[in-house]
Amino acid sequence: MEKSIPKLQKRIFWDVDFNSINYNQSQRFVIERVFERGDVEDIREVRRYYGDDAVKEALMNAKWLRYDVFVFCKNLFGLKSDNFRCYTSKQLNQIPWHY
């Protein structure tokens, strides 16, 4: 049985043609964008459509997440900070202190 596409708000995808989004080919883009700009209902829709394993995998491999989104995802899935690419990349590229 085919799952129905997620019912997401158009404002999340303000910079792309909302009607032309391919939810299967653009999985990582959709997941990252919804967690960055969506609300709780949008996140539930993405989790329903893709499943928690795919959502977790996409977020763990994201190059960048806002700090509050990072903490939310970490707690939502019960993961450690080191599991996230955005965290380990940030740790490797720290900006030196300016005196």
Does residue 76 contact residue 52 with C-beta atoms inside 8 Å? Answer: no
pLDDT at position 65 is: 92
More confident residue, 87 or 99: 87
Q: Supply the DSSP string of 48-79, one letter for each residue.
A: HHH-HHHHHHHHHT-S---HHHHHHHHHHHT-
| % of residues, the chain, pLDDT over 70 | 88
- pLDDT tens digits, residue range 50-73? 999 999 999 999 999 999 999 999
More confident residue, 98 or 41: 41
Compute the C-alpha angle 87/66/20, nearest 5°: 115
17-39: average pLDDT: 95
Helix (H, G, I), strand (E, B) or coil at 89: helix
pLDDT at position 82 is: 92
